[in-house]
Amino acid sequence: MVHFDQEKLDSLHNIYKINLINSCSGYKPANLIGSVSKSGVENVAIFSSVIHVGSNPPLLGFVVRPSGDVPRNTYKNIKETGVYTINHVFESIIDDAHHTSARYDESISEFDVTDLNTEYKKEITPPFVKGSPVQMQMQYVSEYYIKENNTTLVLGKIINLFVKDEIIEKDGYINLGKGDVATVTGLDGYSVPKLKNRKGYQRPKINV
């Protein structure tokens, strides 16, 4: 195996190091976060940092990178309106979903520069991504500044969940493989995994 100690990691070329560290954590969810500004401009952007925080209440988090001179339109819209959507990326929209990582001015909607389509649901303000097999309306709850790398963990509560009928199992399990849901490794490596099997609840072995 190739060994990267602290000295070697520190000496790596920047791009190589970014690719290495971003991919060593394994497969990550590929999600599109939809939002709308107070002035009505729609925004959609890809995130690979959405995490499950808890089920009761149903909380999800995602990480916002340091802003600096880079516009963070999604974060700005969420802070202005308090609501947003999280949509699973699926196989046929990977190219357009990835393009939303490009840095557009806040006056330009990524829906207008890609073939991604909005979907609005009754009495819900932010846009969903049409065709996504799992769509969630989120309500901003809180945020936590991470001083070690100047990022922010944003927490939101699921207030509406929409799932395609054919991917929900009888026990409530969502079979993402049936929806061709994509994952991402690093910054640009996409995969579409399929479920191999499920394991039951584990209890300690009696004769150990």
Digit-coded pLDDT (tens) for 75-105:
999 999 999 999 999 999 999 999 999 999 8
Q: Go through the domains of the chain in sequence order and give each one's CATH number.
A: 27-191 (2.30.110.10)
Other CB atoms within a 10 A radius of the CB of residue 162 amount to 16
Q: For residue range 14-54, what is the model confidence (pLDDT) as tens digits? A: 999 999 999 999 999 999 999 999 999 999 999 999 999 99
pLDDT classification of 69: cutoffs 50, 70, 90? low
pTM for the structure as a whole: 0.94
Per the CB < 8 A criterion, the answer to whether 80 and 74 are in contact is: no
154 vs 59: CA distance, rounded Å: 10
Rounded Cα distance, 109 and 41, in Å: 6
Nearest-angstrom CA–CA distance, 57 and 83: 16
pLDDT score recorded for residue 66:
76
